[in-house]
């Protein structure tokens, strides 16, 4: 299955595992890469020393390409980028920040740099800064979302028309049918998050994975728009946050309600009452917790079946 994305990264299938916070450690990244996709270590929950350790473990587990995702909003983003590159990582994904401020770090010979965007304007900025590709992430995605609330179906073809680099679609893609649809819109590949979060190699808590499997089409909400829009399961914390937002709570009130470590409490510790259980709207398609390799094989088989059905 050759596309611009498989050629860019030197992988077999145009499927990228999202570098999710508290989920995407060395085990998940190496398993996805071994199966023919592109695994990403998510550095959003790591300090530089832990990231270095995770990279070295992934190198021992796979000889195939893998990358690192770095959220640029972090105060130590530059250190994390330098750590990954110094460790020999040549595929860097960045998100949640101004890419031009870090172009000097990632725009180097031999490095494939991809930036996650949620609008055409931001896609053009990323390409102008030197990005090799962009991830066009729609509003269906789990975790932090773009403030313009553009859906994947609307965003991907507009980004495809606007830039001259490969476009990777993300947001709500949890099976091969979604992958086929994204490719029809112009994407050269897909980035999949929640489906890989509910795998055996994911470092998410067992309770987090169980809630993902139990969820249906109306199980998520997006709230905290005044702080940073985030999509998660409708657990007690999410409902409290949504109620506060609906009655017009100020940014300061919402920040106080959010507090610290909500993502860790939910995803990594499995605290249903107080944590953020971040997932995308495709969560209703997930019904089991297989290996990451099995998920990737299903995505490819379902994609091929969807193509046959259209033909």
What residue segments make up the domains of the chain, in order of their start?
4-203+285-310, 220-278
Helix axes 152-162, 120-129, angle to 10 degrees: 40
The residue among 136, 225, 141, 218 whose CA lies nearest residue 183 is 136
Q: Rounded to whole angstroms, what are the CA distances from 128 to 93, 94, 100, 115?
A: 16, 15, 8, 11
Architecture of the 4-203+285-310 domain:
Alpha-Beta Barrel (3.20)
pTM, two decimals, is 0.95
Q: Which residue has the tokens 């570098």?
A: 19
CA distance linking residue 196 with residue 291, whole number of Å: 9
The set of residues, in sequence order, having a beta carbon less than 8 Å from that of 125 and lying 6+ positions away, is: 98, 99, 100, 117
Q: Count how many residues are written for the chain.
A: 311
Phi, psi of 20 (to 5 degrees): -80, 145
Place of tokens 């959010």: 258
Q: How many CB atoms lie within 10 A of CB 177?
A: 16
- Between CA 306 and CA 288 the distance in angstroms is 21
**For residues 202 and 196, is the Cβ–Cβ distance under 8 A?**
yes
Residue 107 confidence (pLDDT): 85
The CA distance from 124 to 67, in Å, is: 23
Residue-level pLDDT, tens digit, the chain, 311 residues: 789 999 999 999 999 999 899 999 999 999 999 999 999 999 988 999 999 999 999 999 999 999 999 999 989 999 999 999 999 999 999 998 899 999 999 988 889 999 999 999 999 999 999 999 999 999 999 999 989 999 999 999 999 999 999 999 999 999 999 999 999 999 999 999 999 999 999 999 999 999 999 999 999 999 999 998 999 999 999 999 999 999 999 999 999 999 888 999 999 999 999 999 999 999 999 999 999 999 999 999 999 999 999 98
Residue matched to tokens 């796979």: 62
Q: In this structure, what token pair is assigned to residue 173?
A: 């893609």
């Amino acid at each position: 299955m050759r596309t611009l994305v498989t050629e860019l990264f030197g992988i077999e299938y145009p499927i990228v595992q999202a570098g999710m916070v508290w989920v995407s450690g060395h085990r998940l990244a190496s398993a996805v890469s071994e199966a023919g996709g592109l695994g990403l270590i998510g550095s959003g929950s790591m300090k530089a020393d832990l990231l270095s350790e995770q990279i070295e473990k992934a190198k021992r587990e796979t000889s195939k390409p893998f990358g690192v995702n770095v959220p640029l909003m972090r105060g130590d983003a530059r250190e994390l980028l330098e750590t990954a590159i110094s460790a020999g990582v040549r595929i860097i994904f960045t998100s949640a920040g101004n890419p031009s401020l870090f172009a000097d770090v990632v725009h180097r010979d031999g490095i494939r740099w991809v930036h996650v965007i949620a609008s055409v304007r931001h896609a053009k900025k990323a390409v102008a800064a030197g990005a090799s590709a962009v991830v066009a992430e729609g509003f269906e995605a789990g975790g932090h979302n773009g403030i313009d609330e553009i859906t994947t179906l609307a965003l991907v073809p507009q980004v495809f028309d606007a830039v001259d680099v490969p476009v990777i679609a993300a947001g709500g893609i949890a099976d091969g049918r979604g992958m086929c649809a994204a490719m029809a819109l112009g994407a050269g590949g897909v980035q999949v998050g929640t489906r890989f979060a509910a795998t055996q190699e994911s470092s998410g808590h067992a309770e987090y994975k169980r809630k993902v499997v139990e969820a249906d089409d109306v199980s998520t909400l997006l709230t905290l728009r005044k702080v940073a829009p985030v999509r998660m399961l409708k657990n007690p914390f999410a409902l409290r946050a949504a109620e506060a937002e609906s009655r017009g709570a100020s940014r300061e009130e919402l920040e106080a309600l959010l507090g610290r470590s909500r993502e860790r409490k939910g995803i990594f510790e499995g605290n249903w009452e107080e944590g953020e259980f971040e997932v995308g709207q495709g969560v209703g398609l997930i019904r089991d917790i297989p290996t990451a390799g099995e998920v990737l094989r299903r995505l490819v088989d379902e994609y091929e079946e969807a193509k046959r059905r259209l033909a």
